[in-house]
Amino acid sequence: MKLIGLYEDRKRDSSEGTLPDHMLGKVSDELELDRLGKLQHVYIAMQMHAKDRIARYWNQFAYTTTTTYFLPFFFSYNLLHIRFQTLFLVHTLIFHDTPFIVISALAHLLASLFLSIIILLLFSPFFLFFAIAVFLSSSAPFLFIQPRFCLFFSTINVL
């Protein structure tokens, strides 16, 4: 991958911060390079408060053949404990989580285990009834040896 350069539409006296001196042009120039087939990847790296500009660039590059990446500036690079979560079909990033997440996960596991045991105990009489009904209505033994084919066409007996 070869970096061609940086493109920016803001002016030098922008309130959003200072611009580097090595800009190659405006984003419209980058779009023209893209339409000529000279780009493969475009990385949009901006601060999160520039959401209108992000949306504008996102829409401009939507109808091109390049792969467009968005690199949000998260104000921190300590992303060691970041978690991804889906909340009502929306993907979210959790930066700072409660220290009780382990306790919550353990409580959820214990509640699931307890509930599954209760449900198994409630339905076990029905399972037992159906097993006895099948046993009494069948003339074959319920434990039997069955031949199975193995490697090189040899057979083994399985209980």
Do 97 and 81 contact (CB within 8 A), yes or no?
yes
Domains of the chain, residue spans: 6-73, 79-124
Neighbours of 8 (CB within 10 A): 16
**pLDDT of 31 strictly over 80:** yes
Cβ neighbour number for residue 61 with a 10 Å cutoff: 20
Higher pLDDT, 126 or 91: 126
Confidence of residue 127 (pLDDT cuts 50, 70, 90): very high
CA 109 – CA 150 distance, rounded (Å): 40
**What would the mean pLDDT of 66-80 be, rounded to a whole number?**
66
Given a cut of 60, whether residue 15 has pLDDT beyond it is: no
Q: Is the pLDDT of residue 82 over 70?
A: no
Rounded distance between C-alpha atoms, residue 27 and residue 21, angstroms:
16
Collapse the DSSP code of 81 into the 3-class scheme (helix H, G, I; strand E, B; otherwise coil) and give the result: coil
Q: Name the residue with higher pLDDT: 100 or 105.
A: 105
